[in-house]
Amino acid sequence: MKLEIPSSYPDEMTNDEIQQVISDCAKRTTNVTKPNVNVTLGASYYISMIQLGQSELNKRIQSGLLELIKEQNKKNKKTTFINWTLTGLTIVLALLTIYIGHQSLGFAESDQKSDEIWQSK
């Protein structure tokens, strides 16, 4: 009994379909390698199909990981931009606070001098 490998194998198949073919090939390889079994296709054919399927699954996993890394890089760039913006705003607010504090001290000193002049008169 020959195992039919679909012509769409492995590129046009889903991960589950590929894994099913790999499983079927692994079972067939086990049966082919048993002694006294008459088969038309040798175990090497099924082993090749297993390797082809595993290679396709690995390629898909790597492709998914690359997409995930790209998305993470985009998020990191956004986060970095936000952090720099907040840092800049914090510096501006600190300088504004120093300026307002300095002006307040100036008004307090002027008020104190005015009060001393008024008291002395």
Q: pLDDT tens digits, residue range 46-91? A: 788 888 889 889 988 998 999 999 999 999 999 999 999 999 999 9
pTM over 0.75, yes/no: no
For the chain, the straight-line distance linking the first and the last C-alpha, in angstroms and rounded, comes to: 121
pLDDT of residue 113: 76
Tokens matching residue 101: 């504090």
pLDDT of residue 115: 74
Q: pLDDT tens digits, residue range 15-55? A: 898 888 888 888 777 665 555 545 555 667 778 888 888 98
Q: Give the separation between CA 63 and CA 68, rounded to whole angstroms.
A: 9
* 26 contacts 1 by C-beta, under 8 angstroms: no
Residue type (1 letter), 97: T
Task: Average the pLDDT over 88-113 and give the result.
Answer: 90
